[in-house]
């Protein structure tokens, strides 16, 4: 084998190993993350995912919500996502370690939902958004999801879960199905309010130098 072939082969191997290191290196780093135990709160973060929330995540995935909504607050403390009130801080890899399917998404037709449970704590508002987004916002782009609800005749007392729907025939009510209830439980659970000490230390920018220090440096010159 001549020298040129050896050089080409070596360069090719370096390129292949470099590209292979991207997914495997990231996977190894992510896989080594563990929960953080907060001594003050006496519990682990992120918390375990309840069964109803896990089932709601499957409904979220089945409906394709990930195609229009991301679940990642980007840009750090001074980023646009924080300014939009989509989160109190940027998202960390540790936030996702309890989730079997991480649904970061790539396209934002609608707002980021990583902290929607902190922004909207009212289940009724989420049900209205799913049933018909234009109830609360006339220019909403989100399509309605009436198939997640059941229109039925009232037998005896109305259901405590019945929604107020305009134009509904007398004697009928609209109630969320089990899929809607699990989906709303999942959405309400989406809130990263805990700031991990290690990530906070790594992602907090250094403090700006004090004015006195700047003046002193100027005097030395």
Q: Check: pTM over 0.85? Answer yes or no.
A: no
Q: Which residues contact 131 (CB under 8 A, 6 or more apart)?
A: 144, 145, 146, 148, 149, 163, 165, 174
If residue 186 lies in a helix (H) or strand (E), which one and from where to where? Answer: helix 178-189
Residue 153 located in a structural domain = no
Is the CB of residue 92 less than 8 Å from the CB of residue 204? no
Q: How far apart are CA 147 and CA 210, in angstroms?
A: 59
Q: What is the CATH number of the domain that holds 64?
A: 1.10.760.10
Residue 191 located in a structural domain = yes
Q: Which residue positions in the chain have pLDDT lower than 70?
A: 1-4, 6-8, 10, 12-31, 76-78, 205-208, 210-221
Q: How far apart are CA 92 and CA 203, in angstroms?
A: 9
- Residue 67's domain comprises 37-143+181-204
Q: How far apart are CA 213 and CA 218, in angstroms?
A: 9
Q: Which residues contact 210 (CB under 8 A, 6 or more apart)?
A: none
Helix %, strand %, coil % of the chain (to 5): 45, 10, 45
Residue 217 located in a structural domain = no
Is the CB of residue 57 less than 8 Å from the CB of residue 99? yes
Residue 5 located in a structural domain = no
pLDDT in tens, 128-137: 999 999 988 8
Give the pLDDT score at 97.
94
For the chain, how many structural domains are there in total?
Answer: 1
At residue 44, the 3 state secondary structure works out as strand
pLDDT in tens, 16-65: 555 544 454 444 455 688 888 887 878 889 999 999 999 999 999 999 99
Give the pLDDT score at 39.
76
Give the pLDDT score at 79.
75
Residue 121 backbone zone (phi > 0: left; psi -120 to 50: alpha; other: beta): alpha
Give the pLDDT score at 14.
63
Residue 3 located in a structural domain = no
- Tell me if the bond preceding 46 is cis, omega within 30° of 0: yes
Residue 167 located in a structural domain = no
Cα-based torsion angle of the residue sequence 178, 181, 187, 191 in order, rounded to the nearest 10 degrees:
-120
Residue 104 located in a structural domain = yes
Residue 173 located in a structural domain = no
């Amino acid at each position: 084998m001549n020298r040129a072939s050896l050089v080409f082969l070596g360069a090719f191997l370096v390129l292949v190993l470099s590209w292979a290191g991207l997914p495997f290196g990231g996977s190894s780093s992510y896989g080594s993350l563990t929960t953080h135990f907060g001594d003050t709160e006496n519990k682990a973060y992120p918390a375990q995912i309840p069964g109803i929330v896990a089932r709601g995540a499957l409904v979220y995935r089945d409906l394709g919500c990930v195609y229009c909504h991301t679940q990642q607050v980007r840009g750090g403390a001074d980023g646009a996502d924080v300014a939009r009130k989509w989160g109190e801080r940027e998202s960390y890899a540790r936030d996702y370690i309890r989730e079997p399917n991480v649904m970061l998404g790539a396209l934002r037709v609608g707002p980021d939902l990583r902290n929607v449970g902190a922004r909207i704590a009212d289940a009724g508002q989420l049900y209205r958004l799913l049933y018909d987004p234009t109830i609360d916002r006339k220019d909403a782009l989100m399509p309605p999801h009436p198939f997640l609800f059941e229109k039925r005749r009232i037998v005896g007392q109305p259901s405590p879960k019945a929604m107020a729907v305009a134009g509904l025939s007398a004697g009928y009510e609209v109630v969320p199905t089990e899929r809607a209830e699990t989906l709303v439980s999942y959405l309400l659970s989406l809130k990263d309010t805990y700031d991990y000490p290690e990530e906070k230390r790594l992602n907090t920018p250094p403090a700006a130098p004090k004015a006195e220090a700047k003046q002193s440096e100027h005097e030395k010159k």
